[in-house]
Amino acid sequence: MADIELSAQIKAALAQVEIPGGGDLAGYAGLSEIIVTPGAIAFAIAVASGMEAAFGPAREHAQKLAQQLGGSRKVMVSITAEKSNAPKFGHGAPQPQGKTRVPGVKRIIAVGSGKGGVGKSTTAINLALSLAAEGLRVGVLDADLYGPSIPKLLGIEGQPAIRDDGIFAPHEAFGLKAISIGSMLVPGQAVVWRGPMATSGLRQLLRETAWGDLDVLVIDLPPGTGDIHIALFQQTIVDGVVIVSTPQDLALIDAQKAIDMLRRMAVPVLGLVENMSYFIAPDTGARYDIFGSGGAEKAAEKLDISFLGAVPLVMSIREGSDAGTPPVAAVPTGPEAAAYRAIASRLLPLIRG
Ligand SMILES: Nc1ncnc2c1ncn2[C@@H]1O[C@H](COP(=O)(O)OP(=O)(O)OP(=O)(O)O)[C@@H](O)[C@H]1O
């Protein structure tokens, strides 16, 4: 059935769902657009603050009806309260209560950046592979809704399998368990997955995936600071964040904004990785600091965070990434892999500790 037709059918079925205060869900102004993709159905019910519990039965009824019509698709119905009710974070604000760990997952390390295109996903995957090479059980969650690149980087195709109990079975690639918000979307649909839909999707991928026992889950965050970050850091204990930046001043200014947010939300910053830091000429082996040298290292010092290391700008990183063969897996003894492994080794005490 065409996605649009199914969406209309679900909407019609929601007329059977009674809501608090009278009326039905189909006619309720707080019902979001109903998104249907080949693997998922998602919609949200916006309610007045304090009404979340009262809408619980309506959400469950809606979930059941959507599941009946959606067959094997994963159904995500979320309730969202008005934004004004959201906790505020400021300097000196108390730590939010209710942050929990993901069962079976010992540590979570997120990889973020101030802006897009700085090599955050490439770094996340190669760090994950470096940690796996140390003998750790490693998972990767691609939460970069607006540019999900983990499937391409790992050469993963298709959607994750969904078990009978509705839990995602993660993909396996190069010894990593991996799942991507990207495999839940059809091309061009990311834009409609904003706000509550995106955060609810992330929560389900995080908590309804059969990770098994992991020593560490690496989360590839979207660039910048947005809903996904806030939702993740409010709900889940993230043991630390690695910030990736290129050496240019502008990228570093953006990185600073991301770090400021992490501090406000009391999330530990593990340090800064400088990516595309210098260029090694393939013919002569000479090193060129194409953006000037030491920018990120100095910035890390200024920001009072650790400098975790630098990754050179190398054609083989780009080519290997495009081909789904990341350098740490493809040439584990090469100089590119060594750069990532040196950075990963600085994260080991946190994971093993
Ligand atoms: N060290 C490097 N040397 C050469 N190319 C690199 C390096 N790091 C990343 N790249 C390339 O730069 C491009 C952007 O990288 P990547 O997708 O990892 O960035 P990102 O910050 O995650 O971007 P987005 O915000 O779009 O998700 C890719 O083509 C990738 O192969």
> What are the domain boundaries of the chain?
3-85, 105-352
What per-residue confidence (pLDDT) applies to 74?
Answer: 78
What per-residue confidence (pLDDT) applies to 83?
Answer: 42
Torsion of CA 19, 20, 22, 27, to 10 degrees: -40
- Ligand 1 mean position to 151 CA, how many Å? 14
What per-residue confidence (pLDDT) applies to 249?
Answer: 63
What per-residue confidence (pLDDT) applies to 49?
Answer: 66
The answer, yes or no, to whether any atom of ligand 1 lies below 6 A from the CB of 223, is yes
Instruction: Return d(Cα 173, Cα 30) in angstroms, integer.
Output: 40
32, two tokens:
């979001």
Instruction: Give the neighbor-by-neighbor strand order of the sheet with 40-47.
Output: 35-36, 40-47, 74-81
Rounded alpha-carbon distances, angstroms, from residue 348 to 130, 136, 140, 195, 215: 10, 10, 16, 34, 10
Domain 3-85 has CATH 3.40.1390.10: no
Among protein residues, the one whose CA lies closest to atom 27 of ligand 1: 147
Rounded alpha-carbon distances, angstroms, from residue 325 to 119, 236, 328: 15, 31, 8
What per-residue confidence (pLDDT) applies to 316?
Answer: 84
Contact criterion met (CB below 8 Å) for 55 and 47? yes
Among protein residues, the one whose CA lies closest to atom 28 of ligand 1: 318
Radius of gyration of the chain (CA): 21
Q: Which residues contribute to the annotated binding site for ATP?
A: 114-121
Secondary structure percentages of the chain, helix, strand, coil, to 5: 40, 25, 40
Instruction: Return d(Cα 207, Cα 184) in angstroms, integer.
Output: 15
- What's the ipTM? 0.98
Rounded alpha-carbon distances, angstroms, from residue 277 to 119, 303, 311, 350: 11, 19, 6, 25
What per-residue confidence (pLDDT) applies to 159?
Answer: 82
Residue 319 CA, closest ligand 1 atom number: 31
The answer, yes or no, to whether any atom of ligand 1 lies below 6 A from the CB of 190, is no
Size of the chain in residues? 353
Q: Which residues contribute to the annotated binding site?
A: 114-121
- Ligand 1 mean position to 207 CA, how many Å? 28
Contact criterion met (CB below 8 Å) for 181 and 143? yes
The answer, yes or no, to whether any atom of ligand 1 lies below 6 A from the CB of 246, is no
66, two tokens:
């959507």
What per-residue confidence (pLDDT) applies to 62?
Answer: 96
Give the side-chain half-sphere CA count within 13 A for 326.
29
With a CB cutoff of 8 Å and minimum separation 6, the contacts of 37 are 3, 73, 184, 185, 186, 189
Top mutation candidate among 145, 154, 318 for ligand 1, by most atoms within 8 Å of CB: 318
The answer, yes or no, to whether any atom of ligand 1 lies below 6 A from the CB of 122, is yes
The answer, yes or no, to whether any atom of ligand 1 lies below 6 A from the CB of 120, is yes
Among protein residues, the one whose CA lies closest to atom 5 of ligand 1: 318
What per-residue confidence (pLDDT) applies to 1?
Answer: 59
With a CB cutoff of 8 Å and minimum separation 6, the contacts of 333 are none
Average pLDDT of adjacent 10-residue blocks, the chain of 353 residues: 83 96 90 77 76 88 95 79 38 54 96 89 97 98 86 89 86 96 64 67 90 97 88 93 82 81 91 85 70 75 90 87 94 93 96 86
Pick the CATH number of 105-352 from 3.40.50.300, 3.30.565.10, 3.40.50.360, 3.40.50.620: 3.40.50.300
Can you count the helices (H) and strands (E) in the chain?
A: 11, 14
The answer, yes or no, to whether any atom of ligand 1 lies below 6 A from the CB of 114, is no
Residue with tokens 């009391």: 266
What per-residue confidence (pLDDT) applies to 89?
Answer: 32
- Ligand 1 mean position to 248 CA, how many Å? 15
What per-residue confidence (pLDDT) applies to 194?
Answer: 60
- Ligand 1 mean position to 118 CA, how many Å? 6
Which of 277, 275, 272 lies closest to 301, judged by CA? 272
Top mutation candidate among 277, 321, 336, 343 for ligand 1, by most atoms within 8 Å of CB: 321
Instruction: Return d(Cα 29, Cα 44) in angstroms, integer.
Output: 11
